[in-house]
Structure 1
């Protein structure tokens, strides 16, 4: 059964800035939600080959070799099929939709032969609402339309691959609940299809119209990519990561989803299968830092605006000023449920949608939120009066609650603890608030904020540091190490050459680091309420690079970073985790992994050019001393 599932890493991503699709190396779209990232799936064979649905285009023969690449400087994906008789390509893209949210989305599959001849088979099997909702299929000479209760998808045929008076194109034929199309092409010939939501009737589309969409999409991505100001050592990987983040941005709101997928496992066959199609407050600091470091000010401003809207909506909420995650439109209905009818990726169950962690208390989010707001302010994105008033209320809440037990950054389900990371990020929240108030002359309870900030510092230094281990530890009741604390020097909480920090880094070297790969913590030593194990965290591996560089170990940092680049898939994409044999695990691609790559590259470039020191390349004073 597992042979029916491609590797998680065997995929590229295409999208239109409102939703996205995954395409595997055999030309199958096996994940697509419509009309938004967090909408129910239409194609989900990645989670169940029989019940999930797919859109497959491949040669009619079984003996072929595939290669996959992005058209340079774009998010247009090319899947090449090579046989002795010919070479063909499927070129996948989604014309970009900017502005207001819409139910109309288009997914184009341009098919061409570049050498010899090749017969392609297209198999379209939608399964609406994660395979729970029936649909009817209507077929015409121009294509087909699939109609469910609240969504319809139309397949428009493109061109007519009847060449030289030679009838080589079959009609659209029914195939169960879907359709099948076969077309034979010679070198230089083009055909294709356009999948469109919104209920339009099928029509035969001229090839020049599809080619025009292709050119418009190529122009968009190359224009966007040209705005990058990054000129460092790892330009190709950084630019691919930036485009991947852009593909996971919901343009109408500016929100960034953690990943476009749900329920891909952190351990194959295990239960750590979460839905990541939402926006985490935690991502704010890292996304704003990454975007500003590459010159994408508009995108950073949009995310900060989305964040401020969430703070505004939460005023007066007794459960806390912020939830840890939201839907892309800012709503917070993320009820978790399991899809028992789906087999799960290679038998990994339960298949979860929604996210029960949404109502957890995770205190670190206030530090990340304030860090991003402070950074945006230093780049001219200043808060209005109402926004500052709401920030003051939020920081007063932090003063009252920073000493509360919580679930922590890793969203554990084993009970609340006094997590060191949450404590020191509350320090960050108050520290950034104080800096904003002082630099802008804004009214604030500076004496109180300063007093609480200093209390947090003293507590972390006395109770968050284990004298026997000579290391900062996960929480006050354990001696377990936690890779989230690699951010301590980056955030300016501890000097990167402080003996307490250097001994912590050595302890992590010995326990959490496997060559260049870093575990977030040892789950067997720190029960998190879940069964099974997990791979190393790509996010933490890039945190480790930055910590090494700031601590003066530049050679180690560069080697670790360049080793990490070898774990990317064939397109330069990363999932959440890397397994024991180098396989990608977890939801894919993962925004946090790519954010951390960009930040590590920018910071490491700066340290290599200037020597390891205490200056931040994005903000040379005041933000991330260390």
Structure 2
């Protein structure tokens, strides 16, 4: 649990580090809650809707919901066990108080459309004065709003979205914002509830009793969901926190799984590697399906398969192929990228971007990721339908015809296309897994063509992806640059994990890309990616490295590397995309890629240790 002094935290830089946040959500959107009690990221009513609170991207203009003990206080932040209910505890000179933050999940349709966010304040011991300030800034801080206050209700209204704040303590207007100062003694509580309101959903006061009932119902929901986990291994707490996080990143109405719930949190402070991750990456979501299936959560896998069936059709072939690398959470394909110059960015790291131009890239590896997830779903959860098999055949036929071309690759480089080894590898996976499905179930397929193409891809990788000079498989054909993505070669069963060529590659990666168990994706100086600046170690690669060590039989090294990685999580067990040179978390937060890789590494290491 974090213990930090937050007196004056919004003076000076005005920002909390990325890692100083917890996450709550309702399977439609999420809010980031700082260790100082401030919600400084929240999009309503969905993950990819414009922000209402975005102080994490601009401390002055982004908007926030502050709720904290008045004056100096130490804090600890933790999750209510086995749930996504977040508690921030304040230790003051006169007592102890805590804020319980959660978003009710499920319930009637009208309640779901309320998108309620509840902040329940309790005095645990002594007497604690609190202060609250609710300052929404609609449409990423670009749209003005009006304030209408009646008694204990304040309605913030803007074009297209209105939010109602109800409170059990008095509210005071402060321009277009509201404030409240109140004191609680031991056993007393106060409740703030923020709802989306419209013609069909009217403001409704959230009394203390209702808040207590919704707290209990939300706790019960998360514990009931987590009880389906089959994992009983050594790292149960971290694995289950990762599973709960992945669940929070699912969009219940469609089955979509977002890569991360934030945009433009920088991969390096002051750098330009700031991207919008609030979309469904085919690759990331497919890997999530694998991780959740490993733990026994087949319902989420089925929901994603339904998303794929509804929104991804091999017949809709575009210039970059039948699959787009990412989709909106509603399946839309237009994710036009634009910059928001009125926001200064996290710690001044501009630009702030919404949308993602990488949606138009060609990334051949996504076909392997998707078909591998379909293969595992068909094997572990439920047999796919005949229509779904027809779609798989269409995708594999396209891969057989188009695998031999340069693309932007898994890391979405903006420095031009290359013949990336990882893209070839995952094309091989796409064909090989489809062959397995056809053989196991006797499904119709052009197996002779598929086998011939699979073998051709294999020979191409072995002939042109291997560098004798480096003694390693490399980033792209006929090159000599190392890339951590090749760690997937044994994990995807392309090569034996003890093959001499692979062991030589593993040693080369260890020498050049591994820093005290943390793994860089590649060296941007040796392989320019079209962007300025460097980056930190990439956390999914660090967990891939653990798995590669496990499969190579280096269990002591694997366990040490894994447990070191666990120490880089934040105080709640959450990870961003990267870890910086001084150990700080960087990039969008929390990152599905990192948490799904943690689950996979823990599962396989635990099984190998016996």
Query: Normalising by structure 1, what TM-score?
Result: 0.94
Structure 2 CA distance for aligned equivalents of residues 52 and 178 of structure 1: 13
Q: CA deviation at 1:255?
A: 1.2
1:34 aligns with 2:20: no
Q: Spell out the pairing of 1:69-84 with structure 2 (5 A cutoff).
A: 69-84=78-93
Structure 2 CA distance for aligned equivalents of residues 2 and 103 of structure 1: 38
**2:465–2:478 contact (8 Å) kept in structure 1:** no
Q: CA deviation at 1:601?
A: 0.3
Q: CA deviation at 1:186?
A: 0.4
**2:314–2:391 contact (8 Å) kept in structure 1:** no
User: Which of 69, 85, 88 is equivalent to 2:94?
Assistant: 85
**1:127–1:133 contact (8 Å) kept in structure 2:** yes
User: Which of 64, 67, 76 is equivalent to 1:67?
Assistant: 76
Alignment-derived partner of residue 142 in structure 2: 132
Structure 1 CA distance for aligned equivalents of residues 164 and 503 of structure 2: 59
Alignment-derived partner of residue 119 in structure 1: 129
Alignment-derived partner of residue 5 in structure 2: none
- Which segment is superposed worse, 313-322 or 285-294? 313-322
Alignment-derived partner of residue 195 in structure 1: 194
Alignment-derived partner of residue 104 in structure 2: 95
SS in 2 for 1:3: coil
Change (3 A) 1:484 1:233: same
Q: Spell out the pairing of 1:524-563 with structure 2 (5 A cutoff).
A: 524-563=525-564
Structure 1 CA distance for aligned equivalents of residues 204 and 252 of structure 2: 29
Q: CA deviation at 1:478?
A: 2.4
**2:280–2:329 contact (8 Å) kept in structure 1:** yes
Structure 2 CA distance for aligned equivalents of residues 2 and 527 of structure 1: 36
1:269 aligns with 2:278: no
1:108 aligns with 2:156: no
**2:195–2:203 contact (8 Å) kept in structure 1:** no
Q: Spell out the pairing of 1:149-298 with structure 2 (5 A cutoff).
A: 149-158=159-168, 171-199=170-198, 200-298=201-299
**1:323–1:359 contact (8 Å) kept in structure 2:** yes
Alignment-derived partner of residue 7 in structure 1: 17
Q: Which runs of 5+ in 1 are unaligned?
A: 161-170, 610-626
Change (3 A) 1:147 1:127: same
Structure 1 CA distance for aligned equivalents of residues 203 and 179 of structure 2: 15
Alignment-derived partner of residue 323 in structure 1: 324
Q: CA deviation at 1:104?
A: 2.2
Q: CA deviation at 1:408?
A: 0.1
- Which segment is superposed worse, 134-143 or 383-392? 383-392
Alignment-derived partner of residue 147 in structure 1: 157
SS in 2 for 1:312: coil
Structure 2 CA distance for aligned equivalents of residues 42 and 279 of structure 1: 21
Query: Normalising by structure 2, what TM-score?
Result: 0.96
Structure 1 CA distance for aligned equivalents of residues 561 and 396 of structure 2: 37
**1:264–1:273 contact (8 Å) kept in structure 2:** yes
Q: Spell out the pairing of 1:145-544 with structure 2 (5 A cutoff).
A: 145-158=155-168, 171-199=170-198, 200-312=201-313, 314-544=315-545
Task: Provide, for residues 229-251 of structure 1, a one-character-per-residue CA deviation record: whole Å limited to 9, x for no partner.
Answer: 10000000000000000111101
Structure 2 CA distance for aligned equivalents of residues 514 and 269 of structure 1: 23
Alignment-derived partner of residue 59 in structure 2: 49
Task: Provide, for residues 126-182 of structure 1, a one-character-per-residue CA deviation record: whole Å limited to 9, x for no partner.
Answer: 000001111100111122000010000000113x5xxxxxxxxxx311112211011
SS in 1 for 2:368: helix
Q: CA deviation at 1:387?
A: 1.5
**2:32–2:42 contact (8 Å) kept in structure 1:** yes
Q: CA deviation at 1:507?
A: 0.3
Alignment-derived partner of residue 594 in structure 1: 595
Structure 1 CA distance for aligned equivalents of residues 107 and 412 of structure 2: 33
Q: CA deviation at 1:115?
A: 0.9
Structure 2 CA distance for aligned equivalents of residues 370 and 324 of structure 1: 14
Alignment-derived partner of residue 163 in structure 1: none
Task: Provide, for residues 62-90 of structure 1, a one-character-per-residue CA deviation record: whole Å limited to 9, x for no partner.
Answer: x1101100000110000011011111101
Q: Which runs of 5+ in 2 are unaligned?
A: 1-10
**1:99–1:252 contact (8 Å) kept in structure 2:** no
Q: CA deviation at 1:446?
A: 0.7
SS in 1 for 2:312: helix
**1:140–1:172 contact (8 Å) kept in structure 2:** no
SS in 2 for 1:210: helix
Structure 2 CA distance for aligned equivalents of residues 14 and 413 of structure 1: 33
Alignment-derived partner of residue 618 in structure 1: none
**1:266–1:586 contact (8 Å) kept in structure 2:** yes
The alignment covers a number of residue pairs equal to 597
Alignment-derived partner of residue 574 in structure 2: 573
Task: Provide, for residues 28-72 of structure 1, a one-character-per-residue CA deviation record: whole Å limited to 9, x for no partner.
Answer: 0000001100100000000001110000001221x1101100000
SS in 2 for 1:183: strand
**1:25–1:67 contact (8 Å) kept in structure 2:** yes
**2:283–2:325 contact (8 Å) kept in structure 1:** yes
Structure 2 CA distance for aligned equivalents of residues 106 and 204 of structure 1: 11
CA RMSD of aligned residues (A): 1.4
- Which segment is superposed worse, 64-73 or 471-480? 471-480
Structure 1 CA distance for aligned equivalents of residues 57 and 609 of structure 2: 43
Structure 2 CA distance for aligned equivalents of residues 580 and 143 of structure 1: 47
Structure 2 CA distance for aligned equivalents of residues 150 and 174 of structure 1: 22
Structure 2 CA distance for aligned equivalents of residues 529 and 459 of structure 1: 27
SS in 1 for 2:210: helix
